[in-house]
Amino acid sequence: MRISLCQGLLTGAIVLNLLILYYVSRAQQQMMEKTGGGPGMAGVDGHARGPRVTVVLREFENFENYVRDVANSFLHQRPELPFLAVADSTPYPPLVLPDGARLLVLSPAPDQPPQAHRPEFHIQTEFVLVVPDGVELEQPRSIERLIKELEGEGGGPVRVVAAPVLARSSVQCLHLRVNLKEWTATYSPAASGSSGSVCTALQGDAVILIRTEDLFNLSVPLGRPLFASLFVQTSLRGWKVKLLESPCFFANHRPLFSSAHNQWKADAFLKDATGKLLKSFGLKRLLLPDGKEQWYGCSKETPRCFGTVQDDTPDYLYLDRWTPPCCLRALRETTKYVINILETSGVRYWLEGGTLLGAVRHQDIIPWDYDVDLGIYLEDIPNCDHLKNLDSGSLVDANGYVWERAVEGDFYRVQYSEANHLHVDLWPFYPRNGVMTKDTWTEHKQDVEFPEHFLQPLVPMSFTGVTAYGPNNPRAFLELKFGEGAIENPQYPNPAKKRLDRSK
């Protein structure tokens, strides 16, 4: 077969174009390798086609820090790695950073575009290495070892790997269970073991590695305190952290602060930051690994955690949460106190309404209830100094409890304090022709007359850790007030507004 001149020229042109395309593509590839490429161009060794990791220093204090030393250490060993110091507001005194390190201020400014203060626009690598203040990088390959460990998990539940600072004993592996419905986070010790301990939270001095995509899928990716913020969010997602025995990261600056005064300032900031973080997360109670408790909700000196209740449905039920634990604690304290006063004064009382339901079901307050109800005999009121003179005004007793005649009707109320209006209501009844009745009634369906024989005799029953008194046939009493099956079929006070989802 003979090839014509035109065919030969056309074939030559095609070959020439292919050669030009090949060399242009090769030149572009070499240029991208020199300039760092991007997160999608990373090579097998971690820095042939650009860095895979951004080093982030989040936890440092303005009044004393070693941010410059940390940046110098990492950039000396790995100059190709982006280094980012992250602060909530512009540090004062100003940070002096070496070439290659940058400062990111998270607080927005009116003269800056929104992306200027959003970390996801400043971190373009595949991984983020979060380091504490004062840490140094001695072995350049330590970072690759962490990457290898995380990649070896294959996208399973382990989404974070960590290495200790100085020694394995400087950081503790913990189990963390977060119960948002009960506003509570519970920490417990994890089984101590060798390298590769897997748990759900860390406490102590450690460097952590996380995929950038995972970090920025958290609602608060860089909150402070960092470990508290990070592990509350990751535990809710079912993620785990692997704590390695090595590599260990070096630290010249331990202890981190050079004076007791600066340590005090850091501790004060930590306490304040923890309170703000937990409030934003809706956590009011921490159970610590040593069994101690920390409370971040209301107290005797502060208002209660919820406002005026509308339609018998407190606001927290609409959030699919139950009564904050600090409120339950205050209700228990007030109940025990009031019961003691009534008993020592010779006032006959009994657990009423939903309070009796809680006693039968849980020997405690119903987990979503917001007050406690006690019935009392009207004729016994003169026996109690706290009640007999309450026709007008109120009484603040020696322990700070407020006794008053309720403005909503003909009954009495005992508040936890002048600031905190969590309360126990006392409902006066009197017998008439063998029936317990009263002169004023509420719109609650359980506020009805009942035979006095339920109170003859009153019987002891366990409630909130004490022995209280209730009707002698609590099941019949409750079914009279709430309907058949009231004990076995729990429901919120006003199902028309919010129903209890028993599947959760």
Q: What is the DSSP letter of 426?
A: E
Report the pLDDT averaged over residues 355-368: 98
Report the pLDDT averaged over residues 329-333: 98
Question: What would the pLDDT profile of 290-310 be if each residue is shown by its tens digit?
Answer: 999 999 999 999 999 999 999
DSSP 324-367: -HHHHHHHHHHHHHHHHHHHHHT--EEE-HHHHHHHHHHSS--T
46-55, 125-134, 282-291, range with the lowest pLDDT: 46-55
Separation CA 357–CA 424 (nearest Å):
15
**Architecture of the domain delimited by 317-482:** 2-Layer Sandwich (3.30)
Strand-pairing partners, residue 405, are 412
Note the pTM of the prediction, 2 decimals. 0.86
Residue 131 to residues 79, 92, 274, Cα–Cα distance (Å): 16, 21, 19
- When pLDDT is cut at 50, 70 and 90, the band that residue 407 belongs to is confident
Q: What is the DSSP letter of 247?
A: P
* H helix or E strand, kind and range, residue 195: none
- When pLDDT is cut at 50, 70 and 90, the band that residue 230 belongs to is very high
User: Does residue 37 have a pLDDT over 60?
Assistant: no
Decide if 167 contacts 248 (C-beta within 8 A).
yes
> How much of the chain, in percent, has pLDDT values that exceed 90?
82
Same CATH fold, 317-482 and 53-178+187-250?
Answer: no
Token representation of residue 448: 């009805």
CATH T-level assignment (fold) for domain 53-178+187-250: Spore Coat Polysaccharide Biosynthesis Protein SpsA; Chain A (3.90.550)
Amino acid at 381: I
Question: What would the pLDDT profile of 11-26 be if each residue is shown by its tens digit?
Answer: 655 655 555 555 545 5
Report the pLDDT averaged over residues 492-502: 93
Q: φ, ψ for residue 273 (rounded to 5)? A: -65, -40
Separation CA 480–CA 207 (nearest Å):
62
Looking at residue 17, its pLDDT comes to 58
Separation CA 458–CA 110 (nearest Å):
68
Separation CA 363–CA 449 (nearest Å):
25
What b-and-e string marks burial along 373-412, b requiring 16 or more CB atoms within 10 Å of the CB?
bbbbbbebbeebebbeebeeeeeeeeeebbbbbeeeeebb
Break the chain into its structural domains and give their ranges.
Answer: 53-178+187-250, 317-482
**Mean of pLDDT over the chain:** 91
